[in-house]
Amino acid sequence: MNVRRSLRAGGLGVVVVALALLPAWTSRADVLNQAFLVLLYVTLAGSWNALAGYAGQINLGHSAFFGIGAFVMRYLWIAGVHPYLGLAVSGGAALTAGLIIGIPAFRLRGAYFAIGTLGLAEILRITVGNALPIVSTLPAGFIAGYDLAHRYYLALVLAVLTTAALAWLMRSRLGLGMMALREDEDAAEATGVDVLKHKVIALVVSTGFAGLAGGLFAFYHVSYYHQLPFSPIWTFDALLIAFVGGVGTLVGPIVGAVFYVLLKEVLAQSLVELHLLVFGALFILVVLALPGGLVEVAVRLRRRPTTQALL
Partner 1 sequence: MGLQFVAQNLIFGLLTGALYGLAAAGLSLVFGVLRVLNVAHGELVMLGGYASFWLFALIGLDPFLSLIVTVPLMFAVGLGLHQGLFSRVQRLEEEPRIKNSLLIGFGLALAFHNLAIRLWTADDRAINTAYSGTVITLGGLLFPLVRLAGLAIAFGAIFALHLFLQRTAAGQAIRATAEDWEAALLMGIDIRRTYLLAFALSSALAGTAGTLVAVGYSINPAIGLEWTLKALIVVVLAGLGSMPGTFFGGIFLGLAESTSALLIGSAYREVVALVIFLLVLMIRPQGLFGR
For partner 1, the binding residues (CB under 8 A) are 56, 58, 60, 104, 107-112, 114-116, 118-120, 122-123, 126-127, 130, 185, 232, 236, 239-240, 243, 271-274, 276-277, 279-281, 283-284, 287-288, 311
Q: Which is nearer to partner 1, 39 or 238 (CB)?
A: 238
Q: Which is nearer to partner 1, 16 or 114 (CB)?
A: 114
Selection from 142, 155, 133, 168 nearest residue 35 by Cα? 155
State the minimum distance, in angstroms, from the CB of residue 174 to partner 1.
Answer: 21
State the minimum distance, in angstroms, from the CB of residue 269 to partner 1.
Answer: 15
Selection from 63, 88, 80 nearest residue 216 by Cα? 88
State the minimum distance, in angstroms, from the CB of residue 43 to partner 1.
Answer: 21
Q: Which is nearer to partner 1, 183 or 194 (CB)?
A: 183
Q: Which is nearer to partner 1, 56 or 208 (CB)?
A: 56
d(CA 121, CA 231): 8
State the minimum distance, in angstroms, from the CB of residue 182 to partner 1.
Answer: 10
State the minimum distance, in angstroms, from the CB of residue 234 to partner 1.
Answer: 13
Q: Which is nearer to partner 1, 92 or 232 (CB)?
A: 232
212 touches 86 (CB < 8 A): no
CA distances from 301 to 81, 305, 309 (A): 50, 10, 16
Total number of residues shown for the chain: 311
53: which DSSP letter? I
State the minimum distance, in angstroms, from the CB of residue 232 to partner 1.
Answer: 7
d(CA 206, CA 203): 5
Q: Which is nearer to partner 1, 61 or 208 (CB)?
A: 61
Cβ-based burial of 47 (10 A; exposed 0-12, middle 13-18, buried ≥19) = buried
CA distances from 92 to 17, 124, 182 (A): 28, 18, 26
